[in-house]
Amino acid sequence: MEPQKIKVDALVVGGGIAGMQSALDLADQGYQVALVEKEPSIGGKMIELSKVFPTLDCCSCITTPKMSAVAHHENIHLFTYCEVQAIHENGTGFVADVIKKPRYVDEDLCTGCRQCEYACPIDLTHPFDRHLGAHRAIYVPFSTAVPQIAVLDIENCLLCGKCEKVCPVSAVDFTQTPMNLEIETGAIILATGFKITPPDAKQEYGADHIRNVVDALVVERLLAPTGPYGHVLRPSDGKEPDSIAYVQCAGSRDKTLGVEYCSRVCCMYAIKQAMLLSGALPLADITIYYMDIRTFGKGYDQFYQNAKAMGVEFVKGKVAKITEDENQNPIVRVELIDEGSKVVERTHDLVVLSVGMLPQYNPQEIYKVPVAQDGFVHTPSTNISPCLTDHPGIFVSGTAGGPMDIVDSIVMAGSAATEAAGYLEDKNNSIKAGKQREFAHA
Ligand SMILES: Cc1cc2nc3c(=O)[nH]c(=O)nc-3n(C[C@H](O)[C@H](O)[C@H](O)COP(=O)(O)OP(=O)(O)OC[C@H]3O[C@@H](n4cnc5c(N)ncnc54)[C@H](O)[C@@H]3O)c2cc1C
């Protein structure tokens, strides 16, 4: 089938906070923008978080209006569940070959009423809730998903047809196949974000086999108002933990993992979670094992001081290993730096790994944009134009360019939009000048 053709001024790849902000900034200036997101909803990692440091604002309350603004902006064309397969240069700009994955639900008909979800007999663990909650085989991705359109997990579907029968608008369509789109664009912004350290990366911390050792995104979901339990409960037995430990640098500043850089956000998110846990579980002891605390942003050090004043215990020490006792309580083996490097073992109910940020996506093959040694997009003018890549017309936004927090991601998103707008303006001016020259010569 002929691909559907779309012509825009700019293509933004990735619908996390950085991609959404870049798209909105360009669209507000009158540019036509295509936003391509590989997941069924936009929102990225930010929509999974509970509250944000250092203000402790509700994350969903900040992110959802942005998601909605993107969906309703007249200059933004939103393509969810889509991936760019290839990029060609066409003399005036780029052409992106995009594949739209089948949702098995007609996007134009579905109203997000969830009747299909209630009728579906299959329960699967939900990746949005870090596999602590469940979703049905056909489901709206999460309560504030944008767009509010169901998606069917065909791999796990029984094909029983119950969803099809109850759908009031006959949107379920088992015959859907992948669709090809061709997006012609003048500039591209890469906002493909980050992924966290995988659980099996550091075997000695046991995140892939000790049930009460979890990563910090799990705690974000446990603390979120829309979380899986509505309470902070530990995974093995559903008990409220009385003693919780954080292990810092569990994925960053670690030569053994090949990740020598600091992920920048882990100290701050651990402090934030410790404060929120103190509120949710007032009787729990919370300890943070750290090498050094890096509170680099505006108001961030005060945030750290507040956590200390609230009674969060900060222990300078490098955790060597985590094991568990017969009751599945994690045992942390740690070298206490301030106590003459004494090695002790401490038992907790729950251990949280402050995992690092890794590049989610390598744009080298498709976009011909080189990556730096750390795997994030290479930025040749980091100090003066941090959004420029080595490829003219392609810009980088947010954590696709390196670890950073939400504030910096938003600032970088604005900067990428400005650079892209400048590039498009220059190109339009040179096309106009060329036409005037041709006219004068004729
Ligand atoms: C546990 C934890 C807690 C945190 N807490 C805070 C906090 O309190 N305050 C704070 O400031 N920061 C916090 N952060 C950091 C914050 O999450 C990031 O700064 C922010 O989410 C970065 O946004 P982004 O848009 O760059 O990336 P992402 O949120 O990763 O978004 C990238 C998007 O691109 C999409 N994508 C990827 N590849 C492709 C592709 N090839 N094609 C199409 N789409 C693609 C992804 O699906 C995703 O939607 C925390 C991080 C963690 C891990």
Residue 81 near ligand 1, beta carbon < 6 Å: no
Is it the case that residue 196 has pLDDT exceeding 80? yes
Contact indicator for 136, 122 with CB cutoff of 8 Å:
yes
226 C-beta neighbours (distance < 10 Å), count: 17
Same domain, 303 and 205: yes
Q: Give the confidence band of 441 by pLDDT, cuts at 50, 70, 90.
A: confident
pTM of the model: 0.96
Ligand 1 geometric centre to CA of 152 (Å): 24
For ligand 1, is residue 105 a contact (CB within 6 Å)?
Answer: no
Structural domain of 230: 197-357
Please check whether residues 53 and 96 belong to one and the same domain.
Answer: yes
Q: 20 in ligand 1 pocket by Cβ < 6 Å?
A: no
**pLDDT tens digits, residue range 79-113?**
999 999 999 999 889 999 999 999 999 999 999 99
Q: Summarize the confidence of residues 203-231 as an average pLDDT.
A: 95
Considering the domain boundaries, does residue 288 fall inside one? yes
Using the mean position of ligand 1's atoms as its centre, give its distance from the Cα of residue 437 in Å. Answer: 46
pLDDT of residue 53: 97
Which helix or strand (DSSP H or E) is residue 322 part of? strand 313-324
Based on the domain organization, do 225 and 255 belong to the same domain?
yes
The half-sphere exposure of 42 on its side-chain side, counting CA atoms within 13 A, is: 32
pLDDT of 175 over the 90 cut = yes
Taking only the tens place, the pLDDT of each residue in 41-63 is: 999 999 999 999 999 999 999 99
Q: What is the mean pLDDT of the chain?
A: 96
Instruction: State the closest ligand 1 atom to the C-alpha of 219, by its place in the atom list counted from 1.
Output: 1
For ligand 1, say whether the CB of 76 is within 6 Å of any of its atoms: no
Task: Supply the pLDDT for residue 442.
Answer: 66
Measure the CA–CA gap between 398 and 405, rounded to whole angstroms: 9
Going from the Cα of 217 to the center of ligand 1, the distance in angstroms, rounded, reads 11
The answer to whether 66 and 21 have CB atoms below 8 angstroms apart is: yes
**pLDDT at residue 435 is higher than 80:** no
Which helix (H) or strand (E) segment is 64 a member of? helix 59-72
Shortest-distance Cα residue to atom 32 of ligand 1: 193
Q: State if residue 409 touches ligand 1 by the CB under 6 angstroms criterion.
A: yes
Q: Indicate the pairing of strand 357-359 with strand 82-89.
A: unpaired
Given a cut of 80, is residue 439 above it in pLDDT? no
pLDDT one-digit tens code per residue, 388-434: 999 999 999 999 999 999 999 999 999 999 999 999 999 888 887 88
**Same domain assignment for residues 208 and 351:** yes
In short, whether 191's Cβ falls inside 6 Å of ligand 1 is yes
Q: Tell which of 173, 207, 224 closes a domain.
A: 173
Q: Is 141 in the pocket of ligand 1 (CB under 6 A)?
A: no
Which residue, chain included where needed, has tokens 């744009």? Answer: 363
pLDDT score at 438: 76
In a domain, 442, yes or no: no
Residues 212 and 80 in one domain: no
Spacing, Cα 377 to ligand 1 middle (Å) = 15
Number of domains forming the structure of the chain: 3
Q: Indicate if the pLDDT at residue 437 is higher than 80.
A: no
Q: 97 lies in a domain?
A: yes
332 touches 247 (CB < 8 A): yes
Do 223 and 338 lie in one domain? The reply is: yes
Q: Which of 301, 331, 357 is the last residue of a domain?
A: 357
Please give the distance, rounded to the nearest whole angstrom, from the Cα atom of residue 201 to the centre of ligand 1: 20
pLDDT in tens, 106-154: 999 999 999 999 999 999 999 999 999 999 999 999 999 999 999 999 9
Q: What is the mean pLDDT of residues 369-376?
A: 96
Residue 137 within any structural domain of the chain:
yes
CA of 84 to the centre of ligand 1 (A): 19
- Is 306 part of any domain? yes
Ligand 1 atom showing the smallest separation from residue 14 Cα: 34
Looking at the structure, tell me whether residues 165 and 272 fall in a common domain: no
Q: Please state the atom number of ligand 1 nearest to the C-alpha of residue 52.
A: 8
Q: Residue 130 Cα, ligand 1 centroid: separation in angstroms?
A: 15
- Condensed to tens digits (0 to 9), the pLDDT of residues 294-352 reads 998 999 999 999 999 999 999 999 999 999 999 999 999 999 999 999 999 999 999 99
Q: Is the pLDDT reported for residue 381 higher than 90?
A: yes
Instruction: Look at residues 357, 381, 409 and tell me which one is the last residue of a structural domain.
Output: 357
- Residue 428: predicted pLDDT: 83
- Residue 272 CB–ligand 1 contact under 6 Å: yes
223 within ligand 1 shell (Cβ under 6 A)? no
Q: Is residue 280 part of a domain?
A: yes
Give the separation between CA 188 and CA 179, rounded to whole angstroms: 21
Instruction: Tell me how far the alpha carbon of residue 136 lies from the centroid of ligand 1, in angstroms.
Output: 25
Dist. CA 391–CA 387, nearest whole Å: 11
50 and 157 in a common domain: no
Share of the chain above pLDDT 90, in %: 94
Bridge partner residues of 240 (DSSP): none
399 lines ligand 1 (CB under 6 A): yes
pLDDT tier at 4, thresholds 50, 70, 90: very high
User: Are 231 and 301 part of one and the same domain?
Assistant: yes
Specify the CATH number for the domain of residue 316. 3.50.50.60
392 and 350 in a common domain:
no
The verdict on residue 437 lying in a domain is: no
Other CB atoms within 10 Å distance of the CB of residue 347: 15
Q: Who wins on pLDDT, 429 or 193?
A: 193
Is 148 found in the same domain as 87? no
pLDDT digits 0-9 by tens, 21-30: 999 999 999 9
> Average pLDDT for residues 367-377, to the nearest whole number?
96
- pLDDT tens sequence across 261-292: 999 999 999 999 999 999 999 999 999 999 99
Q: Is residue 390 part of a domain?
A: yes
Euclidean distance between CA atoms 129 and 132, whole angstroms: 6
Co-location of 345 and 389 in the same domain: no
